[in-house]
Amino acid sequence: MIEDLPDLAPIAAPLVTLAIGYLTGSLVYRRVKAAFNEAVDLLTTIRDAWEDDAITEDEFGAIVEQAGQLADSLKG
């Protein structure tokens, strides 16, 4: 059994690298997707407030809240 280990080394290294890359890519994808969704929400809030050419205090508060959520998602 131990004498078979050198035969497995050329196969194990690429598989381990592939697994690490997949896990890292998956985590980065989720983080980028969350930040993108927050950015879309912020822009939607700004667009909705902009439509009537008057930004109310409530709309301004919503914009600030959305911007804070975007900043939090970008921080990680």
Q: Is it the case that residue 50 has pLDDT exceeding 60?
A: yes
* Contact between 62 and 49 (Cβ < 8 Å): yes
The pair of structure tokens assigned to 50 is 């902009």
pLDDT at 53: 80
Q: Is it the case that residue 4 has pLDDT exceeding 70?
A: no
Quote the Cα angle for 37-39-41, to 5°: 70
Q: Is it the case that residue 27 has pLDDT exceeding 80?
A: yes
Q: Is it the case that residue 26 has pLDDT exceeding 60?
A: yes
CA-CA distance, 59 to 69, in Å (whole number)? 15
CA-CA distance, 33 to 22, in Å (whole number)? 16
Sketch the domain layout of the chain as residue ranges: 2-75
> Global pTM?
0.66
